[in-house]
Amino acid sequence: MAQQRAALGYCPVCGRALAADGPGGRPECHACRYVRYADPKVAAGVVAERDGRILLVRRNHEPMLGRWSFPSGFVDAGEVVSEAAAREAREEAGVEVRVEALLGVFSRAGDPVVFIAYAASVVAGEPAPGDEAIEVGLFAPDALPELAFPHDRAIVEAWHAWRAARTRPGGP
Ligand SMILES: [Zn+2]
């Protein structure tokens, strides 16, 4: 039992082992009644277009090492989310982007990551892999490689819908 309790970690207030029987099954300290809530992690990324093609990066780290995805990463506390998305494009693909529109907020039951996707345009720089990418590529929107994450297909669909609305006469 002691080992099991230690596996939940320790109370940041008083240092005692947390128990698994807090409200909603959350870890709780029986001494001071601290309850540990599992906060989501916020990640952001861009579907960035240049000359009608979409910028993707091939990941050089887990999860999904070696797979293609959009430039994306975790948002720092205090960072403007759209600026975090643009920063990831700079860090992973070496380009400056202009964020154009919010494509959507993507979450799944049991997944701690909330992903916020933007449509963007590459406005400067030549795509080149940064520290977190094996390679970068520009792909025709209808001929993308297999993508890394469960949300990626829905993000692509949201981008197509946004793009179609934007190019339609009278669209935004
Ligand atoms: Zn405590």
The pLDDT tens digits for 43-91 are 999 999 999 999 999 988 888 889 999 999 999 999 999 999 999 999 9
**What is the distance in A from the centroid of ligand 1 to the CA of 19?**
10
Cα of 6 to ligand 1 centre, how many Å? Answer: 13
Domain 41-167 has CATH 1.25.40.10: no
Ligand 1 centre to CA of 78 (Å) is 28
39 and 47 in contact (C-beta within 8 Å)?
A: no
For ligand 1, the distance from its centroid to the CA atom of residue 12, given in whole angstroms, is 7
pLDDT band at 2, cuts 50/70/90? Answer: very low
Task: Specify the domain boundaries for CATH 3.90.79.10 within the chain.
Answer: 41-167
Distance 4 CA to ligand 1 centre (A): 17
Task: Please check the confidence at residue 168 and state whether its pLDDT lies above 80.
Answer: no
The rounded Å distance from CA 21 to ligand 1 centre is 14
Q: How far is the CA of 28 from the centre of ligand 1 (A)?
A: 8
What is the residue-averaged pLDDT of the chain? 92
Identify which of 69, 141, 65, 75 has the alpha carbon closest to the alpha carbon of residue 113: 75
Determine the distance separating the centroid of ligand 1 and the alpha carbon of 125, expressed in angstroms: 51
Bridge partners for 134 per DSSP: none
97, 86 contact by CB (below 8 A): yes
Give distance in angstroms: CA of 39 to centre of ligand 1.
19
> Does pLDDT of 126 surpass 80?
yes
Determine the pLDDT at residue 73.
94
* Residue 103 confidence (pLDDT) above 50: yes
Of the pLDDT bands very low, low, confident and very high (cuts 50, 70, 90), residue 170 is low
Cα-Cα-Cα-Cα torsion 153, 156, 160, 166, nearest 10 degrees, comes to 140
Report pLDDT for 60. 86
Where does the pLDDT of residue 171 fall: very low under 50, low under 70, confident under 90, or very high at 90 and above? low
**Residues within 5 Å of ion ligand 1, judged at the Cβ atom:** 11, 13-14, 29, 31-32, 34
pLDDT at position 1: 47
pLDDT digits (tens, 9 = 90+) for 131-142: 888 999 999 999
- Residues whose CB falls within 8 Å of the CB of residue 73, separated by 6 or more in sequence, listed in order: 43, 44, 45, 84, 87, 88, 91, 92, 132
Higher pLDDT, 167 or 43: 43
Q: Which residues of 144-163 are buried (b: 16+ CB within 10 A; e: fewer)?
A: beebbbebbeebbebbeebb
Q: What is the pLDDT of residues 5-35, one digit of tens each?
A: 467 899 999 999 999 999 998 999 999 999 9
Beta bridge partners of 2: none
Alpha carbon of 3 to ligand 1 centroid (Å)? 17
Q: What six digits make up the tokens of 45?
A: 């990324």
